[in-house]
Chains A and B, each alone.
Chain A
Amino acid sequence: MNSMTTRAERKQKIVLQSIAFIILGIAFVGLWHELKDARATGGQPASEAILLSALSSLLNNLYIVLSMSLVAILFGIACAFYLEEWLPATNWIRRLIENLIAILTGIPSIAYGILAILIFFSYADTLKEAIEAFPLSENIEAIPSQIETTVFYAEALTFILMVMPLAIKKTQEALRSVATPIREAAYVLGASQWQVLTRQVVPIAFNRILAGGCRSMSRAFAMAALLVGIYTWHYTTEPGGMSGRFILFLSVALVLSIFSSTLIWVHGPDSAQHS
């Protein structure tokens, strides 16, 4: 569906994306000034113990989130098989899901990244308070697990929202690439739908399905890398908490990104039909 967008929609997308990026840029500049002010007023760098504890809790967290992403991708592939091979194209559930997927895959990775950072802030600040409240080093490992549940679910949801629709879309495209005449060749031999799928469709589409799965997974890895970077940076600079303004900027950029992809989805297929 993205490939069917016309030049006008692409222009709209570029404009909205540019606005999102500019806001993001302003946010970063603003943050940089905040940091300078914090340094000037004598903010302390975090102790190594706090950093290591926070980092290990994050890596632990990411390990689980990445595993969940993998499961989500496999589940997405299964969903794509069901949608594409069993539900007729006119089925309302299939159409609803396909529309949702069109929106979700249209959202650029940066938007998911921003969402993850926003979630991370609520996590980081609570975590820091907890660590400061219990300065005994032997307790530090135990603290994160008590406070992270909600944040963890939010983060996991972000990862899944990012990888699963892409996995579904790529798998559907792969299955569609096995055209009717190729399937008919097996059907005329008296093969059942299951036999056609396992012996004809899957062997042909396998590489493309695998590539789609890898692409989805690499998205999750990129986001994980981003989070590790931000996390480390946050604890080593210790500016005394992120400014509310920065979070506002990020939220606006996020809303704009999602809005732009929705806009493209709304206009995309229609104008493609007109032309």
Chain B
Amino acid sequence: MGNKIEISGLEVHYGGKPALNRVSFDVHENEILGIIGPAQSGKTTLLKVINRTLEFVPEATLNGTVKLDGVDISTVSDVYGLRRRIGMVLPLPVGLPLSIYDNVAFAPRAAGIRSKSQLDELVERCLQQAALWDEVEDRLDTLGTKLSGGQQQRLTIARALSHEPEVLCLDEFSIAIDPVTTMRIEEVLKTLRKEMTILLVTNLVQQAKRLATRTAFFLNGDLIEIDSTDVIFSDTPTQQATYDYVNGTFG
């Protein structure tokens, strides 16, 4: 199996304060990589490096390389195109101030798709994939911001899928939604895995255990351990800290 993403010697500082310390690892094609670790350990920062939205933080400095399909992303000149190759679901659902339809059609339109039939088809498929279609099918022209929290988060996922990303990053997607919706989305992720590589940052270790093929444990900006999920959640991971965190005896 090939490597979709190769990260080597990645260092990030915010105004001189370290957030990631010389992190190196690979993400395999079509895997779900679970990323766990307590708050402030650099998980969100890692995702921001991958889709180059860290560039919006003026005080952030970055060293090391991140390669997507073997190409150093810092050398990619079309940063918008790069971002469209990576789907991003942020912790709190944010509706664009547009209709449900336009929310999902936003990225395809930004990428230049104009055909109505093509957009219709795409919007339906993404909403289906995000397990939201049945609930909004008859009111696609109402404001996306009028949906409930759980629905908005699924709308975010539909939006992230709308530009047909090769990599899907989810940052604590279930933080603001109910367990039933969470389970539905987890089922969706299992099927999506066949089509794309998934980076699943999660505050719920059990979620990583349920979904991830491999799991990485971050702590204070260090990558403590990365291994198959079975090993990380076994009684004998390499690092004691991993064992403590996974079993809730951390700290």
Could you tell me which A residues sit within 8 Å of B by CB distance? 88-90, 180-182, 184-192, 195, 199-200, 203-204
Q: How far is the CA of A189 from the CA of B169 in the complex (A)?
A: 12
| Contacts A191-B106, A191-B110, A195-B110 given; does A186 touch B96 at CB 8 Å | yes
Q: Which residues 50-106 of B sit at the A interface, judged by CB distance below 8 A?
A: 51, 53, 56, 58, 80-84, 86-88, 90, 92, 94-98, 106
Pick the interface stretch among B13-21, B156-164, B206-214. Answer: B156-164
| Contacts A181-B90, A181-B92 given; does A188 touch B98 at CB 8 Å | no
* Most B C-beta atoms less than 10 A away, residue of A89, A90, A181, A187: A187
- 30 residue pairs of the A-B complex, CB under 8 angstroms, read A89-B58, A180-B56, A181-B90, A181-B94, A184-B56, A184-B90, A185-B90, A185-B94, A185-B95, A186-B96, A187-B53, A188-B83, A188-B86, A188-B90, A189-B84, A189-B159, A189-B160, A190-B80, A190-B82, A190-B83, A190-B84, A190-B110, A191-B106, A191-B107, A192-B80, A192-B110, A195-B110, A199-B98, A200-B97, A204-B97
Query: What is the distance, in angstroms, from A81's C-beta to the closest C-beta of chain B?
Result: 17
The digit string for B169-213, where 1 denotes a CB below 8 A from any CB of A, is 000000000000000000000000000000000000000000000
Q: How far is the CA of A203 from the CA of B90 in the complex (A)?
A: 21
Number of chain B residues close to chain A: CB under 8 A: 28
Could you tell me which B residues sit within 8 Å of A by CB distance? 51, 53, 56, 58, 80-84, 86-88, 90, 92, 94-98, 106-107, 110-111, 156, 159-160, 162-163
Asked if residues B106 and A199 are in contact (CB atoms below 8 Å), the reply is yes
Which residues from chain B contact A181 at a C-beta distance below 8 Å? 90, 92, 94
Which 7 A-B residue pairings sit nearest by Cβ, starting from the closest? A190-B84, A188-B88, A185-B94, A189-B107, A190-B83, A190-B80, A203-B97
* Among candidates A90, A189, A203, A204, residue contacting B110 with C-beta atoms closer than 8 Å: A189
Which residues from chain A contact B96 at a C-beta distance below 8 Å? 185-186, 199-200
Which residues from chain A contact B51 at a C-beta distance below 8 Å? 188
Asked if residues A189 and B163 are in contact (CB atoms below 8 Å), the reply is yes
Which residues from chain A contact B159 at a C-beta distance below 8 Å? 185, 189
Asked if residues B163 and A88 are in contact (CB atoms below 8 Å), the reply is no
Which residues from chain B contact A189 at a C-beta distance below 8 Å? 83-84, 106-107, 110, 159-160, 162-163
Q: How far is the CA of A180 from the CA of B58 in the complex (A)?
A: 13
Q: How far is the CA of A154 from the CA of B45 in the complex (A)?
A: 54
Asked if residues B163 and A190 are in contact (CB atoms below 8 Å), the reply is yes
* CB closest chain-A residue, reference B81: A190
* CB closest chain-B residue, reference A182: B94
Query: What is the distance, in angstroms, from A14's C-beta to the closest C-beta of chain B?
Result: 39
Query: What is the distance, in angstroms, from A186's C-beta to the closest C-beta of chain B?
Result: 6
Which residues from chain B contact A89 at a C-beta distance below 8 Å? 58
Q: How far is the CA of A186 from the CA of B110 in the complex (A)?
A: 10
Which residues from chain B contact A187 at a C-beta distance below 8 Å? 53, 56, 83
* CB closest chain-A residue, reference B87: A188
Asked if residues A186 and B56 are in contact (CB atoms below 8 Å), the reply is no
Q: How far is the CA of A190 from the CA of B82 in the complex (A)?
A: 7
Q: How far is the CA of A187 from the CA of B96 in the complex (A)?
A: 11
- Apart from A181-B94, A188-B88: 10 A-B pairs, beta carbons within 8 A: A89-B58, A180-B56, A181-B92, A184-B94, A186-B106, A187-B56, A188-B51, A188-B83, A188-B160, A192-B80
Query: What is the distance, in angstroms, from B176's C-beta to the closest C-beta of chain A?
Result: 12
* CB closest chain-B residue, reference A185: B94
Q: How far is the CA of A134 from the CA of B58 in the complex (A)?
A: 67
Q: How far is the CA of A185 from the CA of B56 in the complex (A)?
A: 13
Which residues from chain B contact A88 at a C-beta distance below 8 Å? 58
